[in-house]
Amino acid sequence: MLALRLHPDRRLRLHAEAVPVPGPGQALLRVSAVGLCGSDRHWMVDGGIGDAVLRSPLILGHEFAAVVESGLLAGRRVAVDPADTCGTCDLCRRNRSNLCQAIQFAGHGATDGALRELMAWPEDCLYPIGDSVGDAEAALIEPLAVAVHAADLGHLGQVGAGPVAVVGSGPIGVLLVALARLAGATTVIAADPLRHRLDMAAAFGATATIQEPADAVRSEAILAATGGRGCELVFEVAGESAAVEASIEAAAPGARVVLVGIPSDDRTTFTASVARRKGLTLKLVRRSTPDAFRRAVGLAESGALDLARLVTERVSLQDAPGAMDRFIARAGLKVIVEPGVPPSTAGR
C-alpha cells in the first residue's frame, strides 16, 4: 500500500509499505479522503508545531474519511476522530479527552496519519455517516468539530445577535462564521489578507469582510463594522500576533476572545492593559472533544452547512506532492487528497 511521508528535510516522498495490522480494539480502514490543514502546513513549512519537532518520516493527515475493512463496522463509511485517547483518565471521563495526557493524534509527532491507502485505527474513533455526506465532506467533519468546540468555549449560543468577529478566514474561520450565523448572530465580521477566503466567508454568511494582512491587521475596521461598540465574541484563527492584538482591541467590555490559531513562533502576546480594563475572558483551544465531533457529524448530515463548498482542489495521493506548493501558498481553501483515486484523474 502507498503512503506519503514528510521527511525531516521537509520533502514529501511516496513509499510502498506493508498493510498495517490492526491491534486490539482497532479496525483496518481504507482511507477515502483526507483534508490538508493549517497544522499540516506548519509541519511542512516549520518542520513542527510549537515544541513538537519532526524527527523521523511522518505520515500527515488528521482530517479524514474511510471505509471500514474489518471489525464491527466492516463495510460502513465513517468519519474518523484523529484523537486516540486513553478513555480512562479523569479528563477522558469528563468529555475533556482533548486534554488527555496519553493522547495519540493521527499525523502528529510519532503517530502516523491518513495520507496513505490503508491504516489501522481504534473503532472507538469511528463515526458512521449517512450517504447524504460525501467522502470529502466527511473528511471535513474533523475541522468542523474543532470549530464546534471553539464555539462552545466562546459560549456562542449566548451571544445572540452579536457582533461576532472571526479574524482569519481559513477553513476553520469560515466554519466559525457559519456557526455564528446558525447561532443567530446578525453581525458577523470576517477578516483575512486573502480576497478569495473572504469571498468564501461571505458565502458562509459573513455580513462584513475586512481585507488586511494577518501580520498587520488592525482593530479599527472591525470596530467600525460594529458601529464602535465592539464585539461580544472574537475568534482569532490566524495564529499571528497582530491578529491576537486586533482581536483583543475589537472585543467589547466583558467579551470573550477565543484563540484558535497556532502561532508559528510559539508565542502569544497582547497589550495586557487593554484586555484587563475590559475584563476579557480568553479561551485557548486544544483540538476538539468527542461530544463536539458527534455534533459535527449531525450538522454535516443535516445539510445546515455546505461543507463541499469549502473544497477547492482534489488530488490523488500520487499527485499530492505536486499540489503542496499551491497549498503552502494558500492558493485555495481546502485541498482534499483521495488515496483511492488513480493519479491525475483526480485533478478535477
Residue 226 CB, nearest distance to Zn ion (Å)? 29
Residue 83 CB, nearest distance to Zn ion (Å)? 10
Closer CB to Zn ion, 231 or 307, in the complex = 307
Per-residue H/E/C for the chain: CEEEEECCCCCEEEEECCCCCCCCCEEEEEEEEEECCHHHHHHHHHCEECCEECCCCECCCCEEEEEECCCCCCCCEEEECCEECCCCCHHHHCCCHHHCCCCEECCECCECCCCECEEEEEHHHEEECCCCCCHHHHHCHHHHHHHHHHHHHCCHHHCCCCCEEEECCCHHHHHHHHHHHHCCCCCEEEEECCHHHHHHHHHCCCCEEEECCCCCCCCHHHHHHCCCCCEEEEEECCCCHHHHHHHHHHEEEEEEEEECCCCCCCCCCCCHHHHHHCCCEEEECCCCCHHHHHHHHHHHHHCCCCHHHHEEEEEECCCHHHHHHHHHCCCCCEEEEECCCCCCCCCC
Residue 75 CB, nearest distance to Zn ion (Å)? 27
Candidate segments 89-97, 246-254, 265-273, 295-303, binder of Zn ion by CB under 5 A: 89-97
Phi, psi of 344 (to 5 degrees): 65, -5
- Among residues 134, 218, 136, 147, the alpha carbon closest in space to that of 176 is found at 147
Length of the chain: 348
Closer CB to Zn ion, 103 or 208, in the complex = 103
Candidate segments 31-39, 229-237, 269-277, 325-333, binder of Zn ion by CB under 5 A: 31-39
Closer CB to Zn ion, 179 or 246, in the complex = 179
Can residue 89 be called a binding residue for Zn ion (CB under 5 A)?
A: yes
Q: Which of 14, 52, 86, 120 binds Zn ion (CB under 5 A)?
A: 86
Closer CB to Zn ion, 113 or 230, in the complex = 113
Can residue 176 be called a binding residue for Zn ion (CB under 5 A)?
A: no
Residue 269 CB, nearest distance to Zn ion (Å)? 24
- The interface with Zn ion within residues 100-119 (CB under 5 A) comprises 100
Closer CB to Zn ion, 34 or 223, in the complex = 34
Residue 114 CB, nearest distance to Zn ion (Å)? 11
Q: How many residues bind Zn ion (CB under 5 A)?
A: 7
Candidate segments 92-100, 218-226, 264-272, 331-339, binder of Zn ion by CB under 5 A: 92-100
Residue 103 CB, nearest distance to Zn ion (Å)? 7
Can residue 37 be called a binding residue for Zn ion (CB under 5 A)?
A: yes
Residue 182 CB, nearest distance to Zn ion (Å)? 21
Residue 276 CB, nearest distance to Zn ion (Å)? 32
Q: Which of 54, 58, 92, 129 binds Zn ion (CB under 5 A)?
A: 92
Give the cell for residue 130: 449517512
Closer CB to Zn ion, 138 or 208, in the complex = 138
Closer CB to Zn ion, 218 or 294, in the complex = 294
Can residue 60 be called a binding residue for Zn ion (CB under 5 A)?
A: no
Cα–Cα distance measured from residue 151 to residue 158, given in angstroms and rounded to the nearest whole number: 10
Closer CB to Zn ion, 146 or 250, in the complex = 146
Binding site for Zn ion (CB under 5 A): 37, 39, 85-86, 89, 92, 100
